[in-house]
Structures are given as structure tokens and as C-alpha cells.
Chains A and B, each alone.
Chain A
């Protein structure tokens, strides 16, 4: 997967990703406000396939999985961060959003193209071939993300147990 990079700093919280003011309504409204406190242009201009890159502690705060779901619905193909808050990280994978711990994320630049290769535990700048190492994600979790997340996985598991 290759996309443009949207670069954010440390401690991007769930209130920025999914503001509480808009949590009562539907996702269609909520996603318009995704990350607006950090970058008002993001929700308007993000394109399917784009990659969100963050610093330390990405997704700190609430357990609301709309934080990850908003990124999925906006077409974000992957999130790379120096580190993730625990609940957000689990939510992202459960919702089929590729989330990779990338200690070198701070070397990635806003707007650059980035190809994310979870199987190879890295992301690559297709222009310069510069490589950014990521921590490996276990193959079964990569498979779960690729299948669309935990629900798809559960569907398979329940189907298997019923036959």
C-alpha cells in the first residue's frame, strides 16, 4: 500500500480523533471533525490510501473505537507511530486498520509518499528508497487486519465451530 503522509506529533489523543461533541450522532458527521484540533485540513483533504504518521503515545485517552474507525472510514491505509496507547492499538487492529510501531517515524516528512509493508516490518519512501524499520506484527494479526479485523475473524471462527 502506498499513500501520502499526514504527519502528526506526540500524544495525539482520542478527543482529537473522535471529538466527544460529535459522538452522539453518526460516523458521517464525526469523521468530518477527525483530527481537526491538530490539523483542520486533514479530514477535508485526506485521500484513500493515505498514511497517518504520529509520534509517541498515539491514540491516548478514551476507549472509543470511533477514533480508529474514523481513520478507516476516511480511507487511511495505515498508521505508523513511535508508540501507541494500548487500547487504541488493539482497537485499530480489531477494526482492520494497520497500526505499526515505527521508532523512526520522526524521520518521515509531511506529504511524502510512503509504501507500508507490514510483512517486511518496514515502510519505504518509493522516491528515494529510504526505508523506515517497524516492529514486526505477528502474522496472525496481519492476517486479521487484512481480513478486515476481529469481526471477520470471529465470523470465520463461529462458522468453523458450527460446521
Chain B
């Protein structure tokens, strides 16, 4: 079986991500990885919950004085929408429509960049106020948790962009279909983590 074989929408398998042994193994391995990522983020959430609002005596920074909900809301909407656009991309991938898939991935990347820009603005703003990584235990745990998520966003964006560039002239085949599928799973996972971040860090932070 030549992996670069060309297909038509009618001959394209219903589950291209799982039609080759390599695809099956990748999917399985990727879910093991996501399990590990879940535990990684759990450690960071646990640390943040234990250390939030803790710092030097008389510290002026707290979740209630720092966080602004409108910004968190816009970031949430951007990331949630980008999750849907990557669902659209995978829908077109399964229909063997390469151009539509690439187009939806471009939208996904743009929304992700918007999210990242707002996060950088947010961190810049806090540092400007004097709330830095080394300022308090609260600061360290906050930047580690939210920053690790932001790093995942950067990796997810780079992954999508590299896939789109690498395969731009190649089109879809059973070799790269699992790659796109896994990148999109990773992107959904980033949104899963963000759901907990906006709830536990921002909303519950503002609640006090």
C-alpha cells in the first residue's frame, strides 16, 4: 500500500485516521499522552489552589483585585470557537475536501493567535502592576498554570501551521490524515484545560 496513493471522496475511508496500522497506533499513543497531560495539569491546578492569594504579608495582589472577567470571557469565546472550527476542519478531512480543511484550520489558527495575543497582553499588564512570577507564591503558581496552558497553545498553533505548510501541495492521503486528526485532538484538549482554567482560576478567583 502506497501511503501517497490518491483517493476520491468515494474511495476515501470513513475513518481515515484509523485506516492504517500507523494511524491506529498514533491515536492510541496520543490518548496515553493526553492522559499524562491531564495529570500534569492536575498538579499545576492543585498547586495553584493551595497557593492562591498566598504571599508576603500585606500583599496587595489577589485574584479579586487582579482578574477582569470581560477579558477572560473574550479569551474563552475565542478558544471555544476555535475548537468548533477545528471540528469543521476534521469534518472536511473525512469528506476528502483538502482545501476546505486547510481553510478551516487557518481560521482555527487565527482564533488561537487572537487568544494568545490577549494572554500576552494580560501577563504584560500584570507584570506592569508589579505582579510577577517571583513576587509571591500566588504569582509563581498562577503563571506556571496559565503559562503552561499558553505554551500548549503555542505548540498547538505551531503544529497546525507546520502541518498546513508541509502538506499544502501534497493534498490528503492516509499518511497525513492521522496527523491532522491528532493535531485537532490536541487543540480540543487545550480547550478542555481552558474550561477548567476559566472556571477555577478566573471565575472562582473573582468569587473569592
- Are both chains from one complex? no
Which A residues form the contact surface with B (CB < 8 A)?
none
